Amino acid sequence: MGNGNRYFPIRDQFIWKWVREKENSFWKWRQHFRISISLHWKNKIRALEKLLVNPKANVRLILGHAKEVHQFFAPGEIMTIYLNFSDPWPKRRQEKRRLTHPEYLARYRDILGTHGKLILKTDNDRFFSYSLMQINGDDHFRIDRMSLDLEQTSWFNVPTEFEERFRSQGNPIYYLEATLIKGDSHERTLSGTR
C-alpha cells in the first residue's frame, strides 16, 4: 500500500498486483494491474507526473485509505498485497492504524483470491514481530516464508527506495510472505495446531 517517494510501477515493482480472470469454454483472459493506494496526495502527484512521462497501461493510482479497500475491489479480485515499509505506528494507542492489525487482515481476506498472497517488508523489528504474531494468529493465513534479513536469502527481490537506504545503513530487512487459505482453518504455522 502506498507508493512512497518513488513510483514503484515504473521500476516494475508494485504495491498491489490485481489479477482478474474471466473464463468461458474458448479462452482465458488474464491481465495484471499494478495499483497503489495511499492517502498521501503529494506522493500521488509525483507518481502521476512520472506516469505522464512514462505511460503504463496497467498502472492505477488510488487516493484513498487502506480501510476502504473493499470499496475499490470485489471479493477475491486481488491476488497479491504488498506492504512495503508501512508506517509501524509504534505507540500502543496507534495499534489499530497498523496495516497488519486484525481489522486490516479481515479486509485483505475479503478482497484476496483463494491462495492470494500477503507480502510484508520492513526495517522495523517491533512492527515485524507484531505483524508476525497477527498473521500467524489469523486462521485464514499460512506463513510460507519469512526472513530476519532478506539480503541473506536467495529469494527474488526488487528493492524499494527505503530498502536500499536501510541496507546502506547496515539495517536488516525483515520479510514475511503468507498465503490466504479460504475455508477451513489450518494448523497455525508457528505456534502448533489449534
The residue that leads in pLDDT, 191 or 36, is 36
Per the annotation, the verdict on 87 as an active-site residue is yes
User: What is the pTM (predicted TM-score) of this model?
Assistant: 0.75
d(CA 194, CA 178): 18
User: Does residue 4 come out as left (phi exceeding 0), alpha (psi in the -120 to 50 range) or beta?
Assistant: left
Mean local confidence (pLDDT), 151-172: 88
Active-site residue identified among 87, 110, 123, 139: 87
Q: What is the pLDDT of residue 123?
A: 94
Q: What is the pLDDT of residue 183?
A: 57
Q: Is the pLDDT of residue 165 over 60?
A: yes
Domains of the chain: 8-19+29-180 (3.40.50.150)
